[in-house]
Structure 1
Amino acid sequence: MSHQAMTDDYALVSQVLEGDVQAFRLLIRQHERLVAHMIGRLVKNNEEREELCQDVFLKVHEKLSEFSFQSRLSTWIATIAYRHAINWMRKQKIPMYDLMHEEHAGAFFVESENPETLLSDQDMNAFVLTLVDALPPQYKAILTLYHVEAMSYAEIGQVTNLPEGTVKSYLFRARNLLKEKVKQYIGKEELL
């Protein structure tokens, strides 16, 4: 982590802990996209999503005095968002599946009746995101943290509470699943 990022985080956290409402608003603004991505990848219902995102920031505010600067503030907030979403899914009895078994992951994919309509260039990203959305929850979370949030293996391990080696193998497996699906649809491997 850069010294600058650490200093900024430290200053912001200190201001929030001193009761500065503007500083907390800034903290939310800086991290709302991250929290929305984490919750949005795991929770499909829009109303639930909004409520869960609000809950995450309430929890961040409540626990901020426990933040010890062992990581970036964003990693710590992503951890709270991830755990919150996973707990919500467990309560809703939404299956997490054993991600070590590819056949479960394959079962998540719904075949499109007319894939060709999806595949103009500008739709390609949307198409890949649709495929990502069809992955089991932890795959989705890890892909999002790696590709969208540009987190390192170590940071993703911290967020998901998985060893770095497991994070790497999930990423590898998720990419392979996506490649297979895209190849099935259009026979072009170089897209990913």
Structure 2
Amino acid sequence: MNVTDQQLITETLEGNTKSFGVLVGRYQDFVFTIIVRMVKVKEEAEEVAQDTFIKAFESLASFRGESQFSSWLYSIAYRKALDRIKKNKRQRTTEFLDETTETSFAAIENGLHYLEAKEKSQKINDCIMKLNEEEAAIITFYYFEEQSVREISAITNLTEDNVKVKLYRSRKKLFSLLQDYFKPELKQNGTDR
């Protein structure tokens, strides 16, 4: 039986901290992903993610259920990441996140296909990491978390029209970055004329 977020919130507010642990388990990967794409540094993203869950725990009684719990949580993560970025005004070198997992290549039937897919996935992630924090967040919310424009508006406190414009510009910028990465591949396949 799947326990809903609301049931877990109620149990947490009644003193069952293990229920909050279940909520953390459900959302920690995406919270970390959105934060690392904004702050660009893995170690700092881990700290900001922890701060996000501490803030969520402390503020849980104020969650009114007007939006999904995930949207409320992502809003906290977004603001915590922006706070960290403001605090670190100096320019940082982008640190790419190694998302590869320990995998036995003997267990992979088509190792070459797997590596090509992984490389393409890494190139896409690298391109997202080159976007500014707001662009990376909006692209991640829209494409990876499948949040609607309205939900992104609620998370970021931007108007829906502003989200649409920023989404359009972010897509265009990402497409341009991806073209630079994949252009040699297109020439090799004879599709670039």
- Per the normalisation by structure 1, the TM-score is 0.77
User: Which SS does the other structure have where 2:4 is aligned?
Assistant: helix
The match for 1:177 among 167, 170, 173 is 173
Residue 135 of structure 1: aligned partner = 131
Structure 1 runs of 4+ aligned residues shifted over 4 Å read: none
The two structures, once aligned, show a CA RMSD in angstroms of: 2.3
The answer to whether structure 1 residue 26 and structure 2 residue 17 are counterparts is: no
Residue 150 of structure 1: aligned partner = 146
Contact 2:123 2:181 in 1 (8 A): no
| Aligned-partner residue type, residue 34 of structure 1 | F
User: Which SS does the other structure have where 1:155 is aligned?
Assistant: helix
Given the superposition, is the C-alpha separation of residues 47 and 163 from structure 1 closer, same or farther in structure 2, using an over 3 Å criterion? same
Rounded to whole Å, the distance in 1 between the matches of 2:5 and 2:130 is 35
| Aligned-partner residue type, residue 151 of structure 1 | Q
How many residues align? The count is 162
The answer to whether structure 1 residue 56 and structure 2 residue 52 are counterparts is: yes
**What is the CA distance between 1:44 and its match in structure 2?**
2.6
The answer to whether structure 1 residue 68 and structure 2 residue 68 are counterparts is: no
Q: Could you tell me the percent identity over the aligned residues?
A: 33
Given the superposition, is the C-alpha separation of residues 165 and 136 from structure 1 closer, same or farther in structure 2, using an over 3 Å criterion? same
| Aligned-partner residue type, residue 130 of structure 1 | D
The answer to whether structure 1 residue 78 and structure 2 residue 74 are counterparts is: yes
Rounded to whole Å, the distance in 1 between the matches of 2:143 and 2:161 is 17
**What is the CA distance between 1:182 and its match in structure 2?**
2.6
| Aligned-partner residue type, residue 135 of structure 2 | Y
Larger Rg: 2
**What is the CA distance between 1:185 and its match in structure 2?**
4.1
Flag structure 1 segments of 5+ consecutive residues without an equivalent: 96-107, 109-118
Given the superposition, is the C-alpha separation of residues 161 and 32 from structure 1 closer, same or farther in structure 2, using an over 3 Å criterion? same
Contact 2:31 2:77 in 1 (8 A): yes
**What is the CA distance between 1:164 and its match in structure 2?**
1.0
Per-residue Cα deviation, 1:164-188 (whole angstroms, up to 9, x for no partner): 1111111111111122233344445
